[in-house]
């Protein structure tokens, strides 16, 4: 039986993904700047703020007292960064079309495969946000 204080594998995995990705956002922001949608100003700032948000959400998911709020914030964050993931796919598709190499086509396919994976992560975050564990 799961309780609010349960820390199961999906929730632990989501926290780990946020902590790893958030850290990478701060250590190597240039990797992420290119996927910031062009409508947003200051890509470096967007990357840094989203990195800090990921770390805060990841840490919040780990503790029962902050898990509910962190779950809701995590779901919102995943929805908020989805346009950047779409932008990555659009850019990768353009590169693959231009270069026509197996590597560029493979990367493009990987970015497309990543998009529907957001939904299970959002579901885990929302369950944590309901206070029922993940």
pLDDT of residue 93: 95
φ/ψ of residue 101, rounded to 5: -110, 160
What pLDDT is stored for residue 132 in this prediction? Answer: 54
Quote the distance between the C-alpha of residue 1 and its chain's center.
28
Can you give the residue ranges of every domain in the chain? Answer: 9-125
Phi, psi of 6 (to 5 degrees): -70, 135
Under 8 Å between Cβ of 14 and 125: yes
Question: Do residues 67 and 73 touch, judged by C-beta distance below 8 A?
Answer: no
CA distance 87 to 9: 30
pLDDT value at residue 37: 83
Determine the Cα–Cα distance for residues 59 and 76; give it in Å rounded to an integer. 16
Q: Return the pLDDT at 1.
A: 45
pLDDT averaged over consecutive 10-residue blocks of the chain (134 residues)?
69 97 96 87 95 98 96 96 90 93 92 94 94 54
Query: What pLDDT score does 133 carry?
Result: 44
Listed residue (84, 72, 87, 67) closest to 21, CA to CA: 84
């Amino acid at each position: 039986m799961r309780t609010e204080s349960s820390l199961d594998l999906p929730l632990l995995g989501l926290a780990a993904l946020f902590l790893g990705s958030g850290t990478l956002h701060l250590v190597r922001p240039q990797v992420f700047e290119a996927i910031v949608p062009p409508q947003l100003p200051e890509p470096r700032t967007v990357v840094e703020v989203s990195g800090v948000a990921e770390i805060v959400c990841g840490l919040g998911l780990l503790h029962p007292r902050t898990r509910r709020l962190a779950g809701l914030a995590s779901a919102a964050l995943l929805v908020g960064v989805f346009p950047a993931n779409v932008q990555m796919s659009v850019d990768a598709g353009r590169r693959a079309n231009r270069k026509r190499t197996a590597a560029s086509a493979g990367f493009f396919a990987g970015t497309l495969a990543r998009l529907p994976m957001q939904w299970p992560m959002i579901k885990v975050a929302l369950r944590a946000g309901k206070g029922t564990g993940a």
